[in-house]
Structure 1
Amino acid sequence: MSKEVTARSARLPLARRSLSDSVHDAILAMLMDRQLQPGETLSIDGMARLLGVSPTPVREALARLEAPGLVRRTALKGYRVAPLLNSDEMQDLIEARLVLEPVLAHKACARKTPEFARELERSMKDQHKAGRGPSFESFQDFLRADEAFHATIARQSGNDFLRAAYEALGGQVQRFRLFAGQGVIDAEQAVAEHQAIHDALIADDPEQAKKAMTVHLENVLARAIAELAEIEK
């Protein structure tokens, strides 16, 4: 573990939330900023010493980070940092989202409520005002607003099976891993595409909501593939 990780992690405010959540957020920041490199072994005891906590919240945090594919656990060997998705894997991920999210948007539109509209509006405002980088500390609010926008639509669909399938993908966080050191370079495009989805939902137009979500995800895929091509050079 590098001196940079030690120095930066020592400044992380672990008391802001519950200890478990704070440890999760601290390790997430290290992963997203690539202070912990893909393939690196993650020692539970070592991470606990670094953060000044017991091994239990670290173990809980790593289990949570395994779900979206940020770390991988091997029996008898422990955890390692997961590699970045390659171009084929990113395409597979976005294709899975394309199967689910346009349908979720269509269903959510048909079930629109005033509270749903207010939640969408809040997430749009949060995206507009959130920082965009280059460190995770400065773009984490944008990630959370992006996640909230898509999650709100998934919940409003009323189909718990589709929602659970969407949540299992961890799509946004894998996409945002590409922004380490440079920030959210497609923020303006993403916000404009989200606005188009929002407007269709508010206008009670399920077909247009479905179409706008499809366009957004196809554009996300194209941008992600271009960014990966630069990383893989």
Structure 2
Amino acid sequence: MLEARRSVRSQVAHALRAALVAGQMRPGEIYSAPTLAAQFGVSPTPVREAMLDLVKEGLVETVPNKGFRATEPTDEELDNITEIRQLLEVPMTVRAAGVATADDLARLRPMAQRIVEAAQEKDLIAYIEQDRVFHLELLALAGNADLVSLVGELRSRTRLYGLTRLAADGELVSSAAEHLRMLDLIAANDRRGLERLIKAHIGHVRGSWAGREERPSRRRPRATPAAQGRSRQ
């Protein structure tokens, strides 16, 4: 009985995180446990417990006697999260590709296909959750559990407010298909191609998926020789 309750709580927490990432739970709006429970078809208790988990993670905050409100990260915070994800996920995905077996790829391919199906059905909650599972399972092949956990936390703090429009326009399917392409590149041992694709894929997070134009990743300006000379004076 206790394990079943924990399972429901975990499932609800994943769904709530996905709703936050997809922008279906908007900052400023208050959500009550009974209302959310009715949407999920469960009792309010696991929903309340899941929301308290999200409070600890800083994803929502409590509103006394009313419910919970989603927190709103700044654009700078979201840019920083994306930059960190690029630094972590790109090399680790390439490393994972180097050790992936045929059995690993066979296990990952249905996960990638479910992402495509969720995009086709315009089910953003399923899309975000299946996307999370796929990438974390792929990264796990590299053998660094702490990094996988950190990336999972960073993904939960991302906000993809542009997904609704992309799904409505049918453009989300092409992004979803990139997951199948990743597996094809791994099977072909094309690590350079995989690296380029992963960089572009994560770049969507602050581009089209966020409701913006795609843009190159930020680069810190390099000091000119003159500026370097002045700094030494």
Query: TM-score of the superposition, structure 2-length normalised?
Result: 0.67
Greater Cα radius of gyration, structure 1 or 2: 2
- Listed as ranges, the matches of 1:204-215 within 5 Å are 204-215=189-200
Q: 1:154 to 1:68 in 2, by over 3 A?
A: farther
Counterpart in 2 of 1:179?
Answer: 163
Equivalent pair of 2:33/2:48 in contact (CA under 8 Å): yes
- 1:71 is matched with which residue: 41, 57, 60? 60
Contact 2:18-2:128 within 8 A present in 1 as well: no
Q: 1:61 to 1:86 in 2, by over 3 A?
A: same
Deviation string for 1:148-206 (max 9, x for gaps)?
Answer: 221121111112232222112125x7344543577375413313433332222112233
Q: By how many angstroms is 1:111 displaced?
A: 1.2
Larger mean CA deviation between 103-112 and 29-38 belongs to: 29-38
Identity of counterpart residues, as a percentage? Answer: 24
CA distance in structure 2 between the partners assigned to 1:109 and 1:204 by the alignment: 8
Match of 2:115 among 111, 127, 131: 127
1:83-119: per-residue Cα shift (whole Å, max 9, x none)? 2x44333322211110111111111011112331112
Q: Give the Å deviation of 1:121.
A: 1.1
Q: Distance in 1 between matches of 2:18 and 2:191?
A: 37
CA RMSD of aligned residues (A): 4.0
- Give the equivalent residue in structure 2 for 1:159: 144
Assess if the C-alpha contact under 8 Å between 1:105 and 1:206 holds in 2: no
Change (3 A) 1:179 1:206: closer
The gaps in structure 2 that reach 5 residues or longer are 214-233
Unaligned runs of 5+ in 1: 1-14
* Residues 109 and 180 in structure 2, CA contact (< 8 A), matched pair in contact too: no
The 3 A distance-change label for structure 1 pair 66 and 187 is farther
Aligned in 2, Cα 1:158/1:24: closer, same or farther, shift over 3 Å?
closer
Change (3 A) 1:213 1:34: closer
Name 1:111's counterpart in structure 2: 99
The corresponding residue for 2:77 is: 89
Deviation at 1:217, TM superposition (A): 1.6
TM-score, scaled to structure 1: 0.67
Q: Which residue of 1 aligns with 2:208?
A: 223
CA gap of 1:114–1:133, structure 2 versus 1, over 3 A, is closer
After superposition, residues 14-33 of structure 1 pair within 5 angstroms as: 18-21=7-10, 23-24=12-13
Which segment is superposed worse, 189-198 or 156-165? Answer: 189-198
Is the 8 Å Cα contact of residues 113 and 180 (structure 2) preserved in structure 1?
Answer: no
**Distance of aligned partners of 1:60 and 1:210 in 2 relative to their CA distance in 1, 3 Å threshold:** same
Alpha carbons 1:44, 1:58 under 8 Å: kept: yes
